[in-house]
Amino acid sequence: MAQHMFDRLKTARDAASRTGHSLALGCLHRYVGGMGTGQHLNTSVSILLALAQDTNAPIVQLWALHALSMIADSGGPMFRTYVEPTLSIVLKLLLHMAPTHIDVHQCIGKCLTALITTVGPELQGNSLSVCTTRSSFLIACAIMQDHGDPLVQAEAISCLQQLHMFAPRHVNLSNLVP
């Protein structure tokens, strides 16, 4: 079934097919779980990361990001090796996506929350890679907090709460509460 979706996603040109197959891929991973989809994880993430960068179709970006969030949530530690490339794409999208695409910005926030959960308690560490990842999360949250839409700002707060749960000394929540 996964291979069928991969083939369809590689040949599909219309946005409806790409969004539908992206969502189906995310649902498949969520249904089967991280251990059951290990052999398809790399291909799934690679395809969804490519679709998330499709600037010609924001709706495709939205559903690809949603599917990535689903895979990150269900994959847990198996998704850990994909956190950095996914985070890199998310930061690029935050910096280049027009602020009028509010739904994509909200989905970016949900994807960030899933990535933060995947890294989990490792965020307390002091290694260079952990510090870089943690800083990237904080930067992404700051960008979302500066967005004009309150729903995107709420997603930023949700991400900061998740970060605070895993790395409390690195998040200053007093800035969020007046």
Q: What are 124-139's pLDDT values in tens digits? A: 999 999 999 999 999 9
pLDDT in tens, 151-168: 999 999 999 999 999 999
Q: Residue 152: what pLDDT? A: 97
Contact 105, 97 (CB under 8 A): yes
Whether residue 114 is predicted with pLDDT greater than 80 in this model: the reply is yes
pLDDT in tens, 77-90: 889 999 999 999 99
Domain ranges of the chain: 1-175
Q: Which residue has the tokens 């910005």?
A: 105
Count H helices and E strands in the chain, helices first.
Answer: 8, 0
Q: Residue 30: what pLDDT? A: 86
Q: Which of the 8 DSSP states describes residue 33?
A: -
Please give the Cα distance from 94 to 108 (Å, whole number). 8
pLDDT in tens, 11-61: 777 888 888 888 888 888 888 876 555 678 888 899 999 999 998 999 999
Higher pLDDT pick, 143 / 39: 143
**Which of 50, 136, 45 lies closest to 94 in space, CA to CA?**
136
Q: What is each CA distance from 77 to 1, 23, 144, in whole angstroms?
A: 24, 21, 26
- In the CATH hierarchy, which fold is given to the domain comprising 1-175? Leucine-rich Repeat Variant (1.25.10)
Query: Residue length, the chain?
Result: 178
Q: Residue 118: what pLDDT? A: 96
State the alpha helices, DSSP H only, in 76-149: 83-96, 102-119, 128-145
